[in-house]
Amino acid sequence: MNQYKIMKSILLFLTFSLFTYSMNAQEKTPIEIGLSQQHKSIIIIAAQTAKGDLVNLKVALSDGLDYGLTVNEIKEVLVHTYAYCGFPRSIRGLQTFMEVINERKAKGIIDKMGKEASIIKADDNKYERGKEILEELTKTPSPEKLVGYAAFAPIIDTFLKEHLFSDIFERDILTYAQRELVTLSVISAIGDAEPMLKSHIAIAFNVGFSPKQIKEFIVVIQPSIGIEKTKAAEKIITDLVK
């Protein structure tokens, strides 16, 4: 009888422990579990596109599909890169992706296309929409008067607001968080753009990434961009994350 009670107590303890573990696992946030495999794929795809390393990009593109990114999401990643590293890199990335999809089809792999971008119905002008999106990302009101490079060349401010933050960021295939990963990856890969990198790391925090995840970003991107560029990005992150 005593042995039966002991066994019953052990079973009750194990059941409670497993229940507690299950509840804790369900309550874990993305901040606690770090970057997802899809996040990591976006980082590597964007970095390899910016570098023009098409051999390793092919691998990263196929891995991204295997990890659950849709065809349209990856296309959008590649399109987004052009705003930061130019049409030639972006178009070569898209051409490489076409090759990957065709090769996978030849093997009998049919990848999920995913959703298309929603049609944007807005009466206000693109400059104002872009301005609002930028303010949402930075959590800072736009200055009443242009300053710095925007005052020096006002047309760049127009292009940024109307095109980058309206035409591109407003497309809902990718979230703001995913777009910031693309942006951080390209800027890190091209190098020598520390002020912009610093601004976008701050935006990454604003759109939901944790210091832990941004530190993990460095680990993920290092094999793609090399030690020197990684150190430059790491220094900025270290300065921002005390």
pLDDT of residue 148: 95
pLDDT confidence bin for 25, thresholds 50/70/90: very low
Q: Vertex 157, ends 153 and 162: CA angle to 5°?
A: 140
Q: Collect contacts of 120-127 with beta carbons under 8 A, ≥24 apart.
A: 120/170, 125/162, 126/161, 126/162, 126/163, 126/166, 126/167, 127/158, 127/161, 127/162, 127/166
The model's pLDDT over 100-158, given as tens digits with 9 standing for 90+, comes to 999 999 999 999 999 999 998 777 799 999 999 999 999 999 998 999 999 999 999 99
pLDDT confidence bin for 241, thresholds 50/70/90: confident
138 or 241: which carries more pLDDT confidence?
Answer: 138
What CA–CA distance (Å, rounded) separates 217 from 197?
Answer: 13
91 or 29: which carries more pLDDT confidence?
Answer: 91
pLDDT of residue 169: 96
The mean pLDDT value for 164-189 works out to: 97
CA-CA distances (angstroms) from residue 75 to 52, 78, 100, 143, 196? 16, 5, 12, 34, 24
Name the residue with tokens 């790491």: 234
pLDDT of residue 23: 34
The mean pLDDT value for 29-34 works out to: 56
Q: In this structure, are residues 187 and 229 in contact, taking their beta carbons and an 8 Å threshold?
A: no
pLDDT of residue 240: 87
pLDDT of residue 4: 42
The model's pLDDT over 45-71, given as tens digits with 9 standing for 90+, comes to 999 999 999 999 999 999 999 999 999
The mean pLDDT value for 201-229 works out to: 96
Q: By C-alpha distance, which of 183, 161, 184 is closest to 79?
A: 183
pLDDT of residue 121: 77
What CA–CA distance (Å, rounded) separates 188 from 204?
Answer: 14
Q: Where are the domains of the chain?
A: 118-170
- pLDDT at 172 > cutoff 70: yes
Q: What is the longest distance spanned by two Cα atoms in the chain?
A: 88
How many CB atoms sit inside 10 A of residue 122's CB? 10
146 or 32: which carries more pLDDT confidence?
Answer: 146
Q: In this structure, are residues 184 and 236 in contact, taking their beta carbons and an 8 Å threshold?
A: no
